[in-house]
Structure 1
């Protein structure tokens, strides 16, 4: 039972992680500030590494790991791109959208950890430092971006 729950939970988080990674990669190409591009690219790489680790855990548990995100990711990229193109401060629009989506992924991880048995939650708990690092990046950027 626990392996079934961890497979399902991990696959849901994998999908969200792939979606967010896609948004980060799109944003890293769309922003104008070179330093911001580098930060977004690093965060996309961290998300991709997290996804690979979760996919590995699902496979170890005997499941079929999710390999693709959702159709919503493409829609979200287009929507944020459209908002950013019309914004006075395009980079700020990207930062705001990424910070919002990243916070949602972090909350999803925290909820999943709270709902899983302790031994199963270890798999997800190992990813928290990486997610919190991305969280700090986005929210430290969002502060100056909105001033």
Structure 2
């Protein structure tokens, strides 16, 4: 049995991951560039796999994993959608919103790893390569969006 603190932290990360995955999927439908759409869909799939792995780990630890995101995710989608419609470069607005939220999730994982005992942190540490891959994708896209 994993500690309740570890399960709570994992469930918070699952919820944030679900929220971000939802934003990626919404962005993939909203952007105009087909190549960007493909990258966003791929990153959404990577996030969904990360969430599924964390949910499985929570179950193995004797907990009940989160299966839904927060109500704030729907609000965030609408907010970013509105900003993107008003922006001169709609795709860039989506990229910048995703970079911001993705960086927040990565930092939340890093803080959780630092706060948890080593045996609990290894579950999260396994997910870092996926998150860092998404991080590199988004920062690469953000760099080209400035051009």
User: Where does residue 89 of structure 1 map in the other structure?
Assistant: 89
The ranges of structure 1 where at least 4 consecutive aligned residues each deviate by more than 6 angstroms after the TM superposition are: none
Q: Which whole-Å deviations, capped at 9, do the CAs of 1:29-58 have from their partners, x for residues lacking one?
A: 000000000000000000000000000011
1:1-147 superposed matches below 5 A: 2-147=2-147
Structure 2 unpaired stretches of 5+: none
Cα offsets for 1:63-117 (capped at 9, x unmatched): 1100000000000000000000010000000000000000000000000000000
Q: CA deviation at 1:2?
A: 4.5
- Matched residues in 1 for 2:109 and 2:97: separation? 19
Cα separation, partners in 2 of 1:2 and 1:62, compared to 1, 3 Å? closer
Q: Distance in 2 between matches of 1:109 and 1:117?
A: 14
Task: Report the Cα distance in structure 1 between the residues aligned to 2:4 and 2:121, rounded to whole angstroms.
Answer: 13
After TM superposition, the structure 1 stretch with the greater mean CA deviation from structure 2, 54-63 or 1-10, is 1-10
Shift of 1:3: 2.6
The alignment covers a number of residue pairs equal to 147
CA contact (8 A) 2:2 2:61 kept: no
Return the offset for 1:146.
Answer: 1.6
The answer for unaligned runs of 5 or more in structure 1 is none
Q: CA RMSD for the aligned pairs? A: 0.9
